[in-house]
Homo-oligomer: A and B are copies of this chain.
């Protein structure tokens, strides 16, 4: 078997942990498998590099920032190579140039285009464990790029796809994918299996175990993904196309408290206004999520929508710059909101799921501000301070408890 194993920064944060990871990889190797290991930068090293850079230049050029960032993973893989050697196993570390890991040109937010597998194959054929830098790539100009937050997950999945790996294991500090965040819902249960689509919705909704681009990629290439703990030998959660066991109505409940709501009040009720509004935001790369439009009255209507909290300042600036074109009366913004979502492939064939969710919220006395749905997801907007209570209520209503 060819196994790709990805370990995050916490898992390689110090000497002991580096040796723990080395031993885990060596175990598979000694069972005769080909092992490719993908590593992030150690602990908070990437944050340290940001501090170092911003001390020099508060707005460092992104190209030079990527040049700096990439040393983090190179440090991890070199030290891992030394650790495996110390344990008597041949290993070789490779950076993005050595692999080579070709990406688009966008510094800080590149996408993987193509991976040369020759070097990795050759090293595996020589019975070496291959240790690859996560998060980083090179673009067509031969410059370093980085893949953005959670990018090492994407590196691992892309490598697994390119190498036609038999398994891609993402090691994290939790045991797998849960029906809800166990820190907020004590009765949350670990899932044995989940579909790519469900995982994608959970990832996008802030369940945070996997980076959503890595799940997209796994789905696209059918990479068998396992999410498991780097701290124990528990089985983890398998992410795949079709769930074979314990088919459930819904797989998980996610709560996202990063969202903010903007209400644009008294916009003219004529065609094209919504387009103008959201186009202005889109050109600034501001992602709009749940949208609610009031019915027009006296030639006026209101449009509310949610965006990520980090984009609030930019969004307000865009709206104010376009005040004349949009002709609205005022803008309100509200940070005290939360997005509560349920996700499940099962809901496609089961009417009444939404009703059940709304009923449970009503029983818990939680007010719903806005609603948005997709085929396998229902999202409601509620007050942030009711978030955890609402999450538990919904989790109970769908019998997700352990």
Contact = CB atoms under 8 A, between A and B. Distances in A.
Interface stretch (A49-57, A105-113, A183-191, A297-305): A49-57
A268 to B, nearest CB: 44
A83 interface: yes
Contacts of A55: 15
A18 B53 CA distance: 12
Given A71-B74, A82-B61, A18 B98 contact: no
A67 B61 contact: no
A15 B57 CA distance: 10
A45 B385 CA distance: 48
Question: Which of A65, A71, A78, A143 has most chain B Cβ within 10 Å?
Answer: A78
Interface stretch (A85-93, A202-210, A224-232, A361-369): A85-93
Copies in the complex: 2
Contacts of A92: 63
Contacts of A325: none
A176 interface: no
Contact of A74 (B53, B70, B79, B93): B70
A79 B19 CA distance: 31
Interface residues of A, number: 35
A125 interface: no
Nearest to A42: B52
Contacts of A75: 52, 68, 71
B81 A64 contact: yes
Given A19-B56, A53-B82, A60-B85, 9 more contacts: A52-B79, A57-B83, A64-B85, A64-B93, A65-B78, A68-B74, A68-B78, A68-B79, A71-B75
Closest 3 CB pairs of A and B: A71-B71, A68-B78, A64-B81
14 contacts: A15-B56, A18-B56, A19-B56, A56-B82, A57-B82, A60-B85, A63-B92, A67-B77, A68-B75, A68-B79, A68-B82, A70-B74, A71-B78, A119-B142
Interface of A: 15, 18-19, 52-53, 55-57, 60-61, 63-65, 67-68, 70-71, 74-75, 77-79, 81-83, 85-86, 92-93, 95, 97-98, 119, 142-143
